[in-house]
Each structure stands twice: as structure tokens, then as C-alpha cells.
Amino acid sequence: MTKEALLLTIAVLGGTGKEGKGLAYRWAKAGYRVLIGSRSSEKAVKAASEIMELLEGSSSVVGTTNPEAAEQADIIVLTVPYSAHRETLESVKSALKGKILVDVTAPLVPPKLSKVQMPPAGSAAQEAKEILGEEVQVVTAFQNVSHEYLMGEEDVECDVLVTGTSKKARVEVLMLVEATGLTGWDAGPIENSVVVEGLASVLININRLYGSKHAGIRITGVPNQAIEST
């Protein structure tokens, strides 16, 4: 457990879904206090106890509603499908002031999931920024990591590209990425989110054409993965 983990509470909104549950599991395992948020607090409580069981009680995971989870947390992670993106953000907006929102949404539009189709704001993350205003730091991460990897114990063969509204917020989220056991990279300003979110469609296309299930990406050619945190 890191010193930082002791200080931070992470809310995972939509944490009853596969991706959210996988992330919550990884952070709880790393020693963070985790709140699972859902529209139904009953489902959230159930998901939280499932994770606690997997970790044999050595962790702190609590289930509650999305607004309650956002209220109590320092960092809020959004893992709902794109169709619930705006509605969920509006329901927790007042609780996010002065905090970091980690947006895991890839704005996939059925039926053409393998075609990049961004909202008018440019990306889901930029849309979140428009909804939330200047008082919230918006960062993107984890769109392209398969939930099966997160719940497993094996090495995750997918790097995490992190974009966001400030370098400070990106560096904080890079520490959360590290806590999950994955490799994160500062991929630049929020305007670059289209690349990270759009990669989801590219990887879906590759899975479909090449008969794979968990296509991911790795950054190559960088000898030293350390980044200055100041």
C-alpha cells in the first residue's frame, strides 16, 4: 500500500459494469478506499461485496449511489456506456467541483462500432468538460483495456494513454494507472482525447478482422518510462 493510497478515495461511477468493476478491483487491491457508484445502490452494494470477497476482506470497497459516491470521493472515475454519459455527469456535477473526473468513455455509436464517430465537442472527454465547466479537471484513461485483463492476474498487454485538461491532473491519474499495474503515458492535452477514444473503434475493427478478442496498443521506442511529477 502506498502512502498516496491511504490518502485518496476513488469513486467508480457505473462500477457495477465489467470495466468499472475491474478497475475498482485493481485499486482496492492496491490499497485505495473505493466507492462503487450505480443508479441502483442495491446493485452497487452487491458489486462492492463481490470485490471484497475476491480480496478476502483486506480492502475497503463500499457500494452506494453515483451522486453519493462522487460526493465522498477525491477522484471520480466514470465507466458508464456513452448512452448514459451526459445524464450521469449531470447527476453528479455539483459533487465534482475542485476534483478530477477520469472519463473512461469511448463514444461508440451502434451499429458501426468500428467507425470513429465523435460528438460535436470533439470527444466524450471534451463533452464532459463542456458539461462540467472550468472547476473540474477532466482526464481520459483506460478506454482500451479489456475488463477480462483487469479481473485476471496476468500481465495486461495494453498501455494506457492519458489525456487531460492539465498536466497536474494527468500526472495524478498516471499514478492511478500505475496502481492498477498497467503502464500509462501522458498523451497530452484534452484535445488529444479523440485519438485515445477513437482507438477503441480501431481496435474493435482489428478484433473483428483478425479474429482476436483483446487487441490493445503498446508504446514502443521510449527507453525511460519515468516522467517528472512536478
Which residues, at least 6 apart from 6, have a Cβ–Cβ distance to it below 8 Å? 31
Whether residue 223 is preceded by a cis peptide bond, meaning omega within 30 degrees of 0, is: no
Work out whether 183 is an interface residue with a second copy (CB under 8 A). Answer: no
Which residues, at least 6 apart from 230, have a Cβ–Cβ distance to it below 8 Å? none
Q: Report the distance separating Cα 81 and Cα 110, nearest Å.
A: 12
Backbone angles phi, psi at 131, to 5 degrees: -70, -40
Residue from 4, 71, 130, 186 that binds a second copy (CB under 8 A)?
A: 186
Which string of x and - marks every residue 112-151 that binds a second copy (by CB under 8 A)? --xxxxx---------------------------x-----
Name the DSSP class of 192.
Answer: G
Q: How far is the CB of 83 from a second copy (least distance, A)?
A: 20
Work out whether 189 is an interface residue with a second copy (CB under 8 A). Answer: yes
Work out whether 188 is an interface residue with a second copy (CB under 8 A). Answer: yes
* Size, binding site for a second copy by CB under 8 A: 46
In terms of CB distance, is 92 or 116 closer to a second copy? 116
| Helix H or strand E segment including 65 | strand 60-65
Do the strands 60-65 and 33-38 form a parallel or antiparallel pair, or are they unpaired?
Answer: parallel
Work out whether 209 is an interface residue with a second copy (CB under 8 A). Answer: yes
Residue from 45, 84, 121, 195 that binds a second copy (CB under 8 A)?
A: 195
Q: How far is the CB of 164 from a second copy (least distance, A)?
A: 12
Residue from 56, 110, 221, 230 that binds a second copy (CB under 8 A)?
A: 221
Type of residue numbered 65: T
Work out whether 181 is an interface residue with a second copy (CB under 8 A). Answer: no
| Angle at 11 (CA atoms; ends 187, 110), nearest 5 degrees | 65
- Would you tell me which residues interact with a second copy (CB under 8 A)? 114-118, 146, 157-158, 161, 185-189, 191-192, 194-196, 198-199, 201-203, 205-207, 209-227
